[in-house]
Amino acid sequence: MADPQYRRLAESRLDELQILPVNDLATRLQRGRQPDEWPPYVSAEHDLEKARIITLIPRPEPRPRLKVGSGMFSFEDDHPSAERMSQVFDAVGLEARHVMPWHAYPWRDAGRHTHEQLDAGAKPLIELIGLLPRVRAIVAHGEESMYVAGRLYSPDVARTLLRDRGIHVFAARSTSPSAWSLDEAATASALRTMREVYRIAMVQARLKPREEERRSRRR
């Protein structure tokens, strides 16, 4: 989204029907918060009626740190994390309309969160699931996302929501840049593992994943 014209087009589509209820949820989460803490909106290439997988990442970057990227939730962004996820989705054949991105803790707060703060992220996630009738998998990136997704197994938080909807939770590596400060070989291995997690999630969500390309051996 480095192109200003493309960004304006994306912003103009935030109230399209396929994403409006999700962005209405983001608007409701602004209440009682300062503008620099507001959750980002989700771009319109995602579709609440067709989404099969929730990609759950820890939290949005605080606005002062947004030196790159649009501040909008889009895997078409020019932020390194978004670019990496876009490459993973392309490799496994996961289309944007079949995935709904969300933050485990949707507000822009700096620093590591306490369990009490993360608990507050469970309710918006439950509301999001209620908007997505075809979701069957959650891929939770990093410890914070796994904690919030794990809270949905608690009867006092979500009753039997995951079981009733047939939703499975899968753990994946964090999308945070610090989690990817790796050498080339380790990065390649981590990406292979992430692609495999998404393939398994796609099967759970009744989508057909694209298989890993095998390098031909030299004779």
Q: What is the pLDDT of residue 2?
A: 56
- pLDDT per position as a tens digit, 154-204: 999 998 999 999 999 999 999 988 899 999 999 999 999 999 999 999 999
User: Can you read off the two tokens belonging to residue 67?
Assistant: 């030196």
pTM: predicted TM-score of the whole model, two decimal places = 0.90
Q: In whole angstroms, what is the distance from residue 25 CA to residue 128 CA?
A: 8
- Tokens 């392309």 correspond to 90
**H or E segment at 51?**
none
Structural contact between residues 103 and 60, judged by C-beta atoms closer than 8 angstroms: yes
